[in-house]
Amino acid sequence: MKKYNISVIKGDGIGPEIIDEAIKVLDTVAGACDFTLEYKEYLMGGIAIDETGVPLPDETVTGVLASDACLFGAIGGEKWDTLPRELRPETGLLNFREKMGVYANLRPAIVYDELLNASTLKPEVIKGCDIMVVRELIGGIYFGKPRENDGQKAFNTMVYTKDEIIRIGKQAFEFAMKRDKRVCSVDKANVLEVSQLWRDTMEEVAKDYPEVELSHMYVDNAAMQLVRNPKQFDVIVTGNIFGDILSDTASMVVGSIGLLPSASTGDKTAIYEPIHGSAPDIAGQGIANPIATIESAAMMLRYSLGEEKAADMISNAIKNVLKDGYRTKDLAAYDAKEVVTTAEMGDIIANY
């Protein structure tokens, strides 16, 4: 029987709750599809600070690098917000992404027919919406140097090299080839030099993909267009900060931030995590929606382990559970037959 080694980082806030449900579902489909998953837990974020003094222990990096894939929950919370920046949970996560070289963050935003009323938009505006946001993850303003805050003046630097843009551009075009063959590159080229290089470079990458149609949009317009007419998009490729903001926007097109999964990939071990954060405001109450994390686990089966059938089983179970009216609290207002807890949602999906 095939065996895969999965590194697991539960993290803080709702992280442990949602990861437990993903593992529950993974084990069920593994059993049905004849493979086994062996999990090894590692620390990161606030819990790592409390237990080891640093947000990213070396052991976590080595452990994840040695595994076939990494399942990740979320990190951070108020408790650690007053620490110096280099010791904060978020710095640990940024360093982790950099060390893992996961330059491409794939964030699908697919509207469930079963949840058409959950969007803030009209059903006819979103029905059939299927967007892939390809967000650059280890460059841009989140990493650029110099950066400083001396209490009187503060600054960050948005940097992209041509090579970094080519690398993420290729990912986006490769995805578009398997989809509707349309790439929209989002930047702010009318104001920012770094965006002009981004735009020019995307044009160069496009020459290798003559079948794919490339368009460009300024980020402010893209935010508006995502809400006005999301179906116009197929693949959106953009930088680190714009991708962060646009995928949170896309989550409201889909209905809840608790529904959106992601994969962070590069040349080493890939990381699978929900797009949302640790949601400290709802932690420990059993009301977090585990679907984003469970669907991230399905992406892990699909992209890192090649277990397509098991991945489809999970995605189909989620659709059927939603069709039958099971809702966590974030979706309770939308055609709910029964409002269930985080753990109940995991059980129901595992048993479908």
Of the listed 4, 24, 187, 188, which one is catalytic?
188
Binding mask 305-334 for ligand ATP (x = CB under 6 A): -------------------------x----
Instruction: Provide the annotated binding site for Mg(2+).
Output: 220, 244, 248
Query: Could you say which of 276, 294, 300, 326 contacts ligand ATP (CB under 6 A)?
Result: 276
Contact 264, 137 (CB under 8 A): yes
Of the listed 42, 142, 160, 272, which one is catalytic?
142
Size of the site for ligand ATP (CB under 6 A): 13
* Min dist. Cβ of residue 277 to ligand ATP (A): 2
Distance CA 17, CA 222 (A): 34
Instruction: Provide the annotated binding site for NAD(+).
Output: 77-90, 277-289
Specify the 3-state DSSP secondary structure of 328.
Answer: coil
Q: Look up tokens 């080891």; give the residue.
A: 52
Q: Does 281 bind ligand ATP (CB under 6 A)?
A: yes
Query: Could you say which of 28, 67, 119, 278 contacts ligand ATP (CB under 6 A)?
Result: 278
Contact 75, 15 (CB under 8 A): yes
Residues in the chain: 352
Distance CA 116, CA 216 (A): 29
Binding mask 118-157 for ligand ATP (x = CB under 6 A): ----------------------------------------
Active site residue 209: no
Active site residue 188: yes
Active site residue 113: no
DSSP string covering 86-154: GGSHHHHHHHHHHHHT--EEEEEEE--GGGGGGSSS-HHHHTT-EEEEEEE-SSGGGT-S--EE-SS-E
Query: Could you say which of 111, 137, 197, 257 contacts ligand ATP (CB under 6 A)?
Result: 257
Contact 67, 2 (CB under 8 A): no
Distance CA 60, CA 70 (A): 11
For residue 263, give both structure tokens: 């994969």
Binding mask 44-83 for ligand ATP (x = CB under 6 A): --------------------------------x-------
Nearer CB in complex with ligand ATP: 140/169: 140
Active site residue 248: yes
Query: Could you say which of 8, 236, 292, 318 contacts ligand ATP (CB under 6 A)?
Result: 292
Nearer CB in complex with ligand ATP: 28/296: 296
Beta carbons within 10 angstroms of residue 172's beta carbon: 30
Distance CA 266, CA 269 (A): 7
Active site residue 58: no
Radius of gyration of the chain (CA): 20
**Cα-Cα-Cα-Cα dihedral sign, residues 266, 270, 274, 280:** negative
Instruction: Provide the annotated binding site for substrate.
Output: 97, 107, 135, 220
Residues binding ligand ATP (CB under 6 A)? 76, 257-258, 276-279, 281-282, 288-289, 292, 330
Catalytic residues, by residue number, are: 142, 188, 220, 244, 248
